Amino acid sequence: MKLDITNYTIEELVELRDNIVNHIENYSDGYVYLCNVRSYGRIWKERVPNTYVLQKLCYRYDGDDGIVDVYSTNPDLSMIENYGDVMYIVSEGDYNNWKEYEFRKDMIPKISKELDEWDDRNNVPFNSRPTFSPSYSKEDLSEMEKELAEFDMSFTPPVRHSNK
């Protein structure tokens, strides 16, 4: 289908273009696209509605200006070119549960190390001592370990798309 635009004024063409771009940028294809963007020390999340907008974001952060990690319920993202990860998720709920589990799993050793260094601060040279007391207590650590041991593991973790 070819649209004859020769009879439109420039103002009408600009309005038509803006309407088309707005429709493309907001069109939802029914899948979830969660994007974690890292650029120049900043980290943020973006949620895009379709593969066209997703590809634009991936091209913008193609490794030079940043990296995008994509988590999507779309089972076929073979057409997406991305420097970062492209991962399939069963649902947004599974993604959120997986992120919470990974956060706890990663934080427990860090908190434990921080608490051990604090407890041992008098046995190390002054310039190697921690400056501030840990923000977590041993009770907090024990609670986190208990929560991790009892964590509901019924989620499905993300799986890398085959095109990577």
Question: Could you read off the pLDDT of 58-108 as tens digits, one per residue?
Answer: 999 999 999 999 999 999 999 999 999 999 999 999 999 999 999 999 999
Q: What is the pTM of this model?
A: 0.83
Cβ distance 82 to 58 under 8 Å?
Answer: yes
114: buried, middle or exposed (CB in 10 Å: 19+, 13-18, 0-12)? Answer: middle
Distance of alpha carbon 104 from alpha carbon 136, whole angstroms: 13
The strand pairing partners of 11, in sequence order, are none
Distance of CA 151 to the CA centre of its chain: 22
Parse the chain into domains and list their residue ranges: 10-88, 92-157
Distance of CA 31 to the CA centre of its chain: 16
Residue range 8-58, pLDDT digits in tens: 999 999 999 999 999 999 999 999 999 999 999 999 999 999 999 999 999
